[in-house]
Amino acid sequence: MDTTDLSIRIDRGLKDEADNMFNEMGLNLTTAIIIFVKQAIRQKKIPFEIALETGNDKSLSMFDAMAASERIWENAVRTGTAGMSMEDIDAEIQAARSERKTKGARA
């Protein structure tokens, strides 16, 4: 694999805090950044919500969001739904709803 260097500037305290957190998870900061970049490329978006804090913020941490996103993607690949279009997904939902209504009418 051909690799390249990436140099970024970050507050020393923020870096130290991230290093400590990722080390507790068995990762290093480089691996965490690579996970983030891979998810962003795979999803074609920032792989977590960016929002202002509201005080009652119950949102996931960046790592939790990335891990959840990875689990969702792996599940989609495992179940064969990763390549489904929105139209395919809508059709599946409609079929399931129709089936549920039919079963409910028979009961």
Claim: this prediction has a pTM higher than 0.85: no
Report the alpha-carbon distance of residue 92 to residue 44 in Å, rounded.
24
Beta strand segments in the chain, E? none
Q: Read off the pLDDT of residues 33-87 as tens digits, 9 standing for 90 and up.
A: 999 999 999 999 888 877 766 655 556 677 777 777 778 878 778 877 778 777 8
45 in a domain, yes or no? yes
Please report whether residue 80 resides in a domain.
Answer: yes
Please report whether residue 86 resides in a domain.
yes
In a domain? residue 7: no
End-to-end Cα separation, the chain, in angstroms: 59
Question: For the chain, what is the domain count?
Answer: 1
Q: Encode pLDDT of 44-57 as tens digits.
A: 988 887 776 665 55
Does residue 97 form part of some domain? Answer: yes
What is the span of the domain harbouring residue 61? 12-106
Residue 4 lies in a domain: no
